[in-house]
Amino acid sequence: MVDRDEFLQLLTAGAGAGLMALVLILRLNPEVAGGLGGVLRVVVVWIAWGAVLTAAVGVLVLWVVRLVWGRGRKLWMLPWLAMLVFLVGAVLSRVNADINEAFLTGSMHRILGQDAVVWLGVVVVVAVVDRLGASRKAWWRVPAVVAVILVVPVLRLFWGAVGPPEIPLLSRGNLGHPQRGLVVVGIEGMDVNLFLASTTSGRYPALERFVRAGSWGPLHPYRPFLKRSLWTTTAVGAYPREHGVKGRFAWELPGILHKPLRLLPTTGLGGTWLIPRPLARKVPPSPSVLPPLWERLAGGGLPVQAIGWPGVWGKTARAGSEQGLGRSWASVEVNLRHALDLALARFPREGEAVRHAVVADLAKIARVRRAGPGRQEILWIELESLAVTRRYLEPEGAGDTDERAVLGLVLELLDETLDELLQDHHGSLVVLVSPYGMAQPDPVERILRTLGGGRRWRASARSCPDGLVAFMGPGVIPGHRMEASQLVDVAPTICYLLGLPVPQYMEGRVILEAIDPGYLSANSLQVVE
């Protein structure tokens, strides 16, 4: 029910769509661009992928239309298809330029914005050429439209390209001798509102101590939400455009691309439909090319532990895990365990996830405490039981008393853990950090759940709500609420409060409003390569 001319029109529009998708993907992954021969090979693959995908969808749509309304006359639909394709391309380029700002260099961000303008220009040119050719019944109407659809994306592929990003030359040696110990506790899912509510209840003395003796405030994450990328940024002090952790997975195309694709375009259907899936293979993401701060502090005279800190690290910088410590639910303190069991009795499915997260956190703490209390060290540790509890049992109203009881008990466990760490590391700089908070589903998600769709979690970090950062120790202003900071500000502030220089690759600032003026006047800021 689709004749040859219509099929060729679908293939041509699909080839233009494939070229446009390739331009967008290479903008987001400039490191994969090879020589001329490599680019030509990639062009052929994406043209074929776009043509096949578009033709398959178009044939199905035409078949349904003609099944309902009859065959009708042959359609000249190429200009309309092309205008639709390039209009979608303009929107995708603009959206990805806005959403992926933390993942793109300044030049690439600018070029993506220019792409959006170019694709809108193609829409106008196709419309003008087609109407002009039709009014004059010119022989060049069809080849002119085809040329615009195929030639402009190819020209944009080469003329708008920028070279691959430079990998910074780093000195991975230590930054010097810290003036004091350091404890960085990452509590996933903590935010300022929950922090304030906890510190006014009288049940959590360790958290209350941060309010009285520390400086604290909201922490802005970047979007879109990528858990390990956000934690990596917090530990290295630079955005993904520098450290390179840009996704949960990477995609290899053996024999086509010489490097994996690390960042796929953000679309309503997901980005994987823009790559030739039959030829692609999902692989783990590449590790950060920048070292975490604990690696730069190793060798500075204090022992270093990094336990369970999420991220994508190389072999020399991997954070330890709780594996092999033999922890179980029975290892939870007996009174707390019985109280949690009673509170979780109404939530058998969710309760299992909460118990597992609590045991995992206790295993991490057990690894810390094996070294014994009272010694100065560099410690980075991440705890996730709060986030798991909020994900499945976030209280949504005044009537959710059982959920609120579970959350309160998990907070008690975290508070006891913090209290132990504060006692064991007296005199150290203590940093409490959560790269993102948790939020309840948006209205669209609520509608989907009402209709029987969606997941069973109640809160998530998908919308990237603000997290929390709190500093306590020598040089910190006590009892001070700060203005909002960025994730990249945490690492340079830690360096400065330890009396160490700030590496030049760190993109953040020292959070001066958290630091005592006397400490500022006595300690100058130093920057090293």
Other CB atoms within 10 A of residue 362 CB: 22
**Burial environment of residue 336 by CB neighbours within 10 A (0 to 12, 13 to 18, 19 or more):** middle
Confidence band of 330 (pLDDT split at 50, 70, 90)? confident
> What topology does CATH give the domain 182-248+285-528?
Alkaline Phosphatase, subunit A (3.40.720)
Residue 253 CA to residue 407 CA, distance in Å, equals 45
Question: Helix and strand tally (H, E) in the chain?
Answer: 17, 12
**Which of 299, 289, 413 has the alpha carbon at shortest distance from 358?**
413
Half-sphere exposure of 101 (CA within 13 A, CB side): 7
Residue 183 and residue 369: Cα distance in Å, rounded? 13
Tell me, rounded to whole angstroms, the distance of Cα 70 from its chain centroid.
49
Tokens of 293: 């701060």
Residue 456 has pLDDT above 80, yes or no: no
Q: Which of 70-84, 87-101, 233-247 has the lowest mean pLDDT?
A: 70-84
pLDDT tops 90 at residue 323: no
Interval 197-211 mean pLDDT: 89
Which range, 22-36, 203-217, 368-382, is most confident?
203-217
For residue 33, what pLDDT is reported?
65
**Opening angle at CA 311, ends 474 and 107, nearest 5:** 95
Q: Is the pTM of this model over 0.85?
A: yes
What is the rounded CA–CA span in Å between residue 95 and residue 262? Answer: 18
Residue type, 122: V
Alpha carbon of 17 to those of 88, 276, 525: distances in Å?
A: 9, 13, 51
Residues sharing a CB contact under 8 Å with residue 154, sequence separation 6 or more, in sequence order: 19, 43
pLDDT per residue over 58-76, tens digit each?
Answer: 888 878 877 777 766 677 8
Q: What is the mean pLDDT of the chain?
A: 87
In percent, the amount of the chain with pLDDT more than 70 equals 89
What are the start-end ranges of the E strands in 373-507? Answer: 378-383, 429-434, 467-472, 480-481, 485-486, 502-503
Predicted confidence band of residue 108 (pLDDT cuts 50, 70, 90): confident
Start-end ranges of CATH 3.40.720.10 in the chain?
182-248+285-528
Nearest to 231 by CA among 199, 263, 188: 188
The mean per-residue pLDDT over the stretch 312-324 comes to 59
- What does the pLDDT look like over 154-165, one tens digit per residue? 998 887 665 555
Residues 392-400: what's their mean pLDDT? Answer: 86
Lowest mean pLDDT: which of 308-312, 373-377, 513-517? Answer: 373-377
The answer to whether the peptide bond before residue 224 is cis (omega within 30 degrees of 0) is: yes
Q: Higher model confidence: residue 376 or residue 324? A: 376
Residue type, 1: M
In this predicted model, what pLDDT tens digit does every residue of 118-155 receive, in sequence order?
999 999 999 999 999 988 888 899 999 999 999 999 99
Evaluate if residue 460 carries a pLDDT over 90: no
What pLDDT is recorded for position 324? 40
